[in-house]
Chain A
Amino acid sequence: GNSVTQMEGPVTLSEEAFLTINCTYTATGYPSLFWYVQYPGEGLQLLLKATKADDKGSNKGFEATYRKETTSFHLEKGSVQVSDSAVYFCAPPMGNTNAGKSTFGDGTTLTVKP
């Protein structure tokens, strides 16, 4: 089955700082990979996705490259804003996980200070 491991611990940055949130995956083959974001008081929404190895997903200034050589899908943004403060989850697709279980990453809480 497929699973992801996400960096632990909250991240606090100043506005305009560079952001990296690490995510590595264990997979059979090369399934799609996703980053979801959860803004305060809201449900999860898709931030970006990559559907195959070496693919790059991007949205709202965030990027993540599906690197098969390092089995990674790290989330990056060159200049964060206060409005980026949220919880970020790395995830494999629903249908390709162990016994149908969606193994989300643990979530990384990002706080951006002005």
Chain B
Amino acid sequence: SAVISQKPSRDICQRGTSLTIQCQVDSQVTMMFWYRQQPGQSLTLIATANQGSEATYESGFVIDKFPISRPNLTFSTLTVSNMSPEDSSIYLCSVEEVPTSAYNEQFFGPGTRLTVL
């Protein structure tokens, strides 16, 4: 299993500023995923981050708002840009079990709780 850490664990930010969230995995993984979990709701996939290529964004999410970096196989960052109160959410990083497995279990980081004032 993979162990994932995220920084910061929580933050309170002002409208119009940006926050970069870091995700560190204890093993090399091909794909990393960024989710948003708004209060009382399920997870929504923001984008898939592959090392060495541009992130793939889901419908409703754009690179200008959520730029992602993936400099190596164990690390990724998600930036929430020009924040508004609607961006208040928990942001979760996850990785998939080794692609050769048939099970495709996901491992999640503890999340970053963001509050935008």
Give A113 to B19 CA distance when docked, in angstroms: 38
* Interface residue? B87 (CB, 8 A): no
Give A104 to B45 CA distance when docked, in angstroms: 9
Give A75 to B103 CA distance when docked, in angstroms: 18
Give A45 to B1 CA distance when docked, in angstroms: 11
Classify chain B's interface size: 20 to 34
B12 CB to nearest A CB, Å: 16
- Sort A-B residue pairs by CB-CB distance and give the 5 closest, nearest first: A93-B104, A44-B108, A43-B108, A43-B110, A43-B111
A residues in contact (CB < 8 Å) with B:
31-32, 34, 36, 42-46, 49, 51, 89, 91, 93-96, 100-102, 104-107
B residues in contact (CB < 8 Å) with A:
4, 33, 41-43, 45, 48, 56, 58, 92, 94, 96, 99, 102-111
24 examples of A-B residue contacts, CB within 8 angstroms: A34-B105, A34-B106, A36-B106, A42-B110, A43-B92, A43-B110, A44-B43, A44-B92, A44-B108, A46-B105, A46-B106, A89-B43, A91-B106, A93-B105, A94-B33, A94-B96, A94-B104, A95-B99, A96-B104, A101-B45, A101-B58, A102-B43, A104-B42, A106-B42
